Structure 1
C-alpha cells in the first residue's frame, strides 16, 4: 500500500532558539504525519497499525482538533473559510501534526493546508494548543498567484507560555509538503526577534513497515514533547525569566492574519 496516498510521514527535527531576555535553545528529533482529511478512513482500512477514532499503535482522533466535537473537521474548516470570505470550493485539506501513539498525543502546533480544487493553496490554518488544555487557531489567506514558500504574519492572541509576553507578532514561513517540509515560526516584539522555532523533515511513504520504523525511533514522542516543554520551562525559570499569568481566552476560536508580499 506504500506510495498510494497523499498522506505520509515527515521525519526530522525541531529547533527552538530564544534570543531575549536570556538566550536559550534546544533541538530534538521528531516526526509529523501529513493527513489528507479525505483519506483518513482509507488509511484506517489500508493500514493495520493505524486507526481513526480507535486505539492502535498510531491513531488519529478527530476530537483532538479544532472545536473538539463530533462535527466533521472539513465542515469546521470550511465554515472558518466562509466566515473569512474565502469561499471554499471543496479542494483538499491536509493536516501536519503528531498522531496519537499508543493512544496519547500532544500537538503544540498543527498546520492545515487548505487547497482550491485546482491544487493551489487558498489558506493556512495554524492550530495552537497550550499545556493548560486550551486551543486557538490562526487563519491566514494565501494569495491566488502564490508559488513556493508561504510567508504570513499574525498578532499573538493566545496564551502559550508563561515566559512569553502577549504583545508579540508571529511570522510563519512554510515550505509546503513535498519531498521535504519546513515550518518556521518566529515571535517578535517592538524591539525585534524574541524566539525562533522550526520543524524540518523528509518525506517517507506510509506503510505498516514505515510506521514500525517510526515508532522504534520515536516510541514516546508525545510524552517527550510534554516533558520537554516542562523541563525547558524549568531551565528558563532558573535563568531568571519572569512568570506571566494567563490572560482571558480569545472570544473567538479563530484569529485572522495576513500574507506577506512575495
Structure 2
C-alpha cells in the first residue's frame, strides 16, 4: 500500500444550541491522502476503500481528483505549479460514500500552503466548495452559502479551524449568526499509517462508516423535527459543485 496515506480514527461531535439544545457524537475514521499518490490497496480491500473523482468538486475538472482541484483553483487564478495537494475524506465503502466535509490542502511548488478547499455535502445529494485562505494557526472565516441542514437558514458566517493534520487531527467549524453560535462541529483523531492491518481494524471498528454517518444525521433530523424545531425552506436552486 502507498506509504504516504494515513488513517485518522476520529471522534466527531455536533452541538446545536438553538432553538433547542441538541448534541451528539460518534466515532468514525477518515483517510488522509496525497492526490498524486492515491492508496494502492490489496484487491480484497478495494471494495471497502475507493476514491473517485466524481464524488467531489466540478465535473469539468476531469477524471482525476487532482484535475478537479486544479480546475477549481484555476477559476480563482491560482496555479500551484505542480505543488502537493493533500486531502482528508471518507472513502467509498461497498459503492457508497458520504462526505459531510472533505478538505483539500493546496500547496505550491515551494511547499507553501496557498489555500484550503472545504467541500460540504448535504444529505440531499448537493455539494458546495468553499475556497478559504487560512492564517498561520489554520483558521479562516467565510460566509455560509449552502443549504446543509433543514433546520438552519443559508445565512451567517462560518469560523473554521482547518489546520493540516499531522500526528493529531483537530478540525472545527462554528456557525455564527447575529452574535450567537447556534451550531458547532468538531472532528478530532490520531494518525495511523494506512497499513493493511490498520485499514481492517478501522473497518471493523466502524463498519459501513459512510452509510452509518448519513443515517445518524437523518436520525438527528427526525428528532429535531419531533421536538418542533421549524424547518428552513430549501432553496429552489440547487447549489452543486460551485466554489466561493
The TM-score range, normalised by the shorter chain, is over 0.9
SS in structure 2 at match of 1:89: coil
SS in structure 1 at match of 2:36: helix
Aligned-pair Cα RMSD in Å: 1.8
Q: Deviations over 1:155-195 (max 9, x none)?
A: 11111110001111111102311101111101111131110
Residue 58 of structure 2 aligns with which residue? 67
Q: Structure 1 unaligned runs (5+)?
A: 256-262
Shift in alpha-carbon separation, 1:216–1:207, aligned structure 2, 3 A? same
Q: Structure 2 unaligned runs (5+)?
A: none
TM-score normalized by the length of structure 2: 0.92
**Conserved? CA contact 1:50–1:59, under 8 Å:** no
Partners of 1:98 and 1:220 lie apart in 2 by 11
Q: Does 1:78 pair with 2:70?
A: yes
Partners of 1:161 and 1:185 lie apart in 2 by 14
Residue 244 of structure 1 aligns with which residue? 232
Q: Does 1:229 pair with 2:220?
A: no
Partners of 1:96 and 1:159 lie apart in 2 by 22
In terms of mean alpha carbon deviation, does 21-30 or 56-65 score higher? 56-65
Residue 23 of structure 2 aligns with which residue? 25
Partners of 1:104 and 1:185 lie apart in 2 by 25
| Alignment of structure 1 residues 7-18 onto 2, 5 Å | 7-18=5-16
Q: Deviations over 1:196-239 (max 9, x none)?
A: 10000100001111111111101121111111011000111122
Residue 79 of structure 2 aligns with which residue? 87
Residue 98 of structure 1 aligns with which residue? 90
Deviation (angstroms), 1:5: 2.3
Residue 154 of structure 2 aligns with which residue? 166
